[in-house]
Amino acid sequence: MATDARPDLRLTCEDFLLLPDDGKRHELIDGEHYVTASPNLRHQKLLGRLYLAVAEYLRAHSGVGEVYFAPLDVIFSNWDIVEPDLLFVAADQRDILTEKNVVGAPALVVEILAPSTRSRDRKLKHRLFEKGGVREYWMIDPDRDTVTVDRRGPDGGFTIREDLDAGAVLTTPLLPGWSLALSTLFE
């Protein structure tokens, strides 16, 4: 009896480790290789401001978790390795931290959208983060000065969505008492 067994041509973690260290961001999503050039200055300013706001909170609230920014690989599966702009690992999930990377879903993942990554961040990564167990996913849009927050709802999926503009205040139950005026982020 003949079978229609097709070889799995997706790239794996092992293949990923063989990619060149060329200063670009390499990611695998469902075994497909994506390369992104270095971010622009506005992207870096937004990332720096957000990181500092979260890091200051964590300094004053030890034991809540840890915040990291790119470059840092997050391994979801043998075919899914991404490099979010910012991620937060809650205290109850410290076991996903290794010396080299994060193996598993962080509590919070943040991507700052760029023209070259906007579709990937909104669709492919959104699906990966939802399926992979991320508790919250923030998409910061520097072209529109907005933040989209997707949180897990009672059904377990990203069913709670907030669309915030530059006049709003960003909060999260992951960081009780933390807030960031988006006017400060986007200044």
Q: What domains does the chain contain, in order, with CATH numbers?
A: 40-185 (3.90.1570.10)
Per-residue pLDDT, 9: 86
- Residue 167 contacts by C-beta under 8 Å, 6 or more apart in sequence? 182, 183
Query: Among candidates 103, 78, 89, 179, which has minimal Cα distance to 136?
Result: 89
Per-residue pLDDT, 2: 56
The tally of CA atoms less than 13 A away on the side-chain side of residue 39 is: 21
Per-residue pLDDT, 1: 54
Per-residue pLDDT, 3: 60
Low-confidence residues of the chain: pLDDT under 50: none
Per-residue pLDDT, 187: 93
**In a 10 Å sphere around its CB, with 0-12 CB exposed, 13-18 middle and 19+ buried, how is residue 103 labelled?**
middle
